[in-house]
Amino acid sequence: MGIIKNMQTKLTQLLNIKYPIIQAPMFLVSNVAMVTEAMKGGIAGCIPALNYRTLEELRAAIQELKANKVEGGSFGFNLIVNKSNLKYKGQLEVLCQEGCDFIITSLGSPEETIKQAHKVGIKVFCDVTDLHFAEKVQQLGADAAIAVNNEAGGHRGNLSPKELTNLLSEKLDIPVISAGGVGHKGDIDKMISYGAAGVSVGSPFIASVEAGVTDEYKQACVDYGSEDIIMTQRISRYALYSN
């Protein structure tokens, strides 16, 4: 991704990391090994809580990450806070009991997560796709908004990286983290110039040694680019934030 030097932002201050990058939570891809290496590299790493089938497995992962933590790195977990996630309340309880640096909320209202996490000093970042929901999470006390643009993987928004990041950074008082469309150092520079305090990066890390996916999947992430992505409305009809 190139060399990043002396890029201190509100995100690096919030998480005490060297570089303003979050290794994005990727379902069935992110794992302890990936996040451990992310922390060693001076960035933040995040894992979907749903990557663990049981609360005991989630608890063990948190404990391992705490043992692996190094100065200049941080770790967190992604919570699906929609009612469809029957494990949500238990996952939140375990995270608050064991402790982590941050939680990223997706697919629902973050109100309860913010309330419980802040009691134990855990920061909460919220996925949003437009100003309306960004202002809602700010009012609820979110520590940052993750601006999920139309180049993001998985669930994505409708606005371009520049349009969404500019809009939210101008209107919000909390930091904005741009998610989508970042593959190298030049992309990070662009997002920062749009007003972002940092970036959330997923796809490039799929090709990492630590990713627990097939070599064919990793190679596809190397061989193909944004022009090869196919959008579908058939997988999920949820918004990133809904009442």
Query: Hey, what amino acid is at 1?
Result: M
pLDDT at site 195: 95
pLDDT at site 6: 59
What is the homologous superfamily of the domain 10-224 according to CATH?
A: Aldolase class I (3.20.20.70)
pLDDT at site 243: 36
Q: Dihedral sign, CA of 89, 210, 41, 229?
A: negative
pLDDT at site 222: 83
Give 82-125 pLDDT, tens digit per residue: 888 999 999 999 999 999 999 999 989 999 999 999 999 999 99
CA-CA distance, 127 to 39, in Å (whole number)?
Answer: 22
pLDDT at site 149: 82
CA-CA distance, 149 to 136, in Å (whole number)?
Answer: 18
Those residues of the chain that have pLDDT short of 50 are: 1, 237-243
pLDDT at site 237: 42
141 phi, psi to nearest 5 deg: 105, 15
Q: Is 235 left (phi over 0), alpha (psi -120 to 50) or beta?
A: alpha
Burial 211-224 (b: 16+ CB within 10 A, else e): bebeeeeeeebeee
pTM for the model: 0.89
Selection from 120, 76, 82 nearest residue 101 by Cα: 76
CA-CA distance, 188 to 61, in Å (whole number)?
Answer: 29
